[in-house]
Amino acid sequence: MQCSEFLRLYSDYRDGLIRDARSILRLNRHLATCQACSRYDASVREGVQVLRQAAIDLEPAPDFRERLRQRIAAGAEPVPVAPGAASFAALLMVAAVVALVVHQRSSRTSESLTLVQAAPVAVPEPRPRPMVVVNPGVPFVMFTDLEVSAFHGTGTYNTSTELPLDTWANLPR
Amino acid sequence: MRAVLTPTKSAEIESPRATERRLLHGRDDSAVVAAHLAGDPQAFDELVDRYQRRLLNFVYRTIGDRERAEDLVQEVFIRVHRHLARFDQTKKFSTWAYTIASNLAKNELRNRSRNPLVLFQTFKKNWEADHRPLQFEDPQNRPDDLYRKRHLREMVDWSVAQLPEHHRVVFVLRELEGKSYEEIADITGCNLGTVKSRLNRARNRFAQLIEPRLD
């Protein structure tokens, strides 16, 4: 086995992902006979060991928990949302908006009839169109990088496509 | 003969709160999440206990700033607290928390490198790291023995910091957090092949940097 092949297979070897007995034998033999690759393996192992020890020693500041509690208390109280409540609330909102639009159109119709009967034809003031906001929940992760996706596996969505904020309820489960 | 009464130790009575906390401690993440959603006031604290140090270590290794890493880890827990009711409990809580942390760390690094020159240098460094042939043996870099022994931990820290960000994240998640390749793929938004490639390159570069400093 050449060193280049050993280096290429090293990660799989280190993580126990090589199942073939013959390949494992070849890698072990190379490790036992090649001084450079043996030093390479030792460097990774020993370096990671030091890193893990450093990780054990790394503790949050003593006031970390208290600051966190204060920050959570200062923010809005999280309201547990039952699975059906959000979509029901959205339905109500849609119904209310539809009713408003219908009312406005019928008002305009009666107004326009009155205007026809009266002398000058007045141009009605442009009214702001209502914005339909369905399920205005915040996605569980805020992204500024549009190329990063939230999930892989059972279902994926890519935030670089035209995905509105209101699709939380439609995310694959 | 006189009877001598020896005072017996009274049994330590555990408070109900301590009992509840001990029971929570023995449960897995999904059970603790369910307890929090059911209104258990100690359940969220249990999640913070489990993940604060691990997330701090991960974010610190990614961005290299201890104080800022604490701020970002707090932000992770705030977001978790805010959105836990919407979290898909069929997925692993750990993966979700690390994904939030990874994205916050990435955004932090991106915000730091707004300078076009810094951006260009970062892109160049990342491209070279992805395309440099795998190699070892860097005989030019051999500090003296005493220095090596005294400053091994600093050297290891420095070596990790030298890795390009996209290699460093994968390296830390695998070597320190023990995440599987699939979990790392979920957290970083990469496919498995990319995770393997980055991890191999990260280990290669780490070994090159650290080997001269080891016995």
Chain A residues near residue B62 by CB distance under 8 angstroms: none
Q: How far apart are CA B187 and CA B181, in angstroms?
A: 10
Structure tokens at A115: 């205007």
| A5, closest residue in chain B (CA to CA) | B134
Structure tokens at A150: 């939230």
Chain A residues near residue B45 by CB distance under 8 angstroms: 65
A134 pLDDT band, cuts 50/70/90, is low
Task: Check residues B42 and A140 and name the one with the higher pLDDT.
Answer: B42
B5 pLDDT band, cuts 50/70/90, is low
A110 pLDDT band, cuts 50/70/90, is low
Q: Please give the average per-residue pLDDT across A25-38, as a whole number.
A: 94
String of DSSP letters for chain B: ----PPPPPPPPPPPHHHHHHHHHHTS-HHHHHHHHHTT-TTHHHHHHHHHHHHHHHHHHHHH--HHHHHHHHHHHHHHHHHHGGGS-TTS-HHHHHHHHHHHHHHHHHHHHT-SHHHHHHHHHHHHHHHHSPP----TT----HHHHHHTHHHHHHHHHHHS-HHHHHHHHHHHTT---HHHHHHHHT--HHHHHHHHHHHHHHHHHHHGGG--
Check whether B52 has a pLDDT greater than 70: yes
Q: Number of A to B CB contacts under 8 A, please give it.
A: 142
| A12, closest residue in chain B (CA to CA) | B196
Check whether A163 has a pLDDT greater than 80: no
Q: Please give the average per-residue pLDDT across A70-95, as a whole number.
A: 61
Residue among B85, B157, B174 whose CB faces A78 most closely: B85
Check whether B206 has a pLDDT greater than 80: yes
Q: Inter-chain contact B189–A37, Cβ cutoff 8 Å?
A: no
Tell me what the pLDDT averaged over chain B comes to: 83
Check whether A130 has a pLDDT greater than 80: no
Contact between A149 and A158 under an 8 Å Cβ cutoff? The reply is yes
Task: Check residues A103 and B158 and name the one with the higher pLDDT.
Answer: B158
Residue among B81, B88, B157 whose CB faces A173 most closely: B88
Check whether B123 has a pLDDT greater than 70: no
Report the gap between the CA of B15 and the closest CA in chain A (Å).
22
Instruction: Give residue-wise pLDDT tens across range A87-107.
Output: 555 566 767 777 777 777 776
Query: Is B109 part of the contact surface with chain A (CB cutoff 8 Å)?
Result: no
Which residue is it, tokens 């539809």? A98
Chain B residues near residue A60 by CB distance under 8 angstroms: 52-53, 56, 70, 73
Check whether B95 has a pLDDT greater than 90: yes
ipTM > 0.85?
no
The B residues from 22 to 51 touching A (CB cutoff 8 Å) are 37, 45, 48
Counting residues of chain B whose pLDDT is more than 70, the rounded percentage is 79
Tell me what the pLDDT averaged over chain A comes to: 69
| B70, closest residue in chain A (CA to CA) | A60
Contact between B176 and B169 under an 8 Å Cβ cutoff? The reply is no
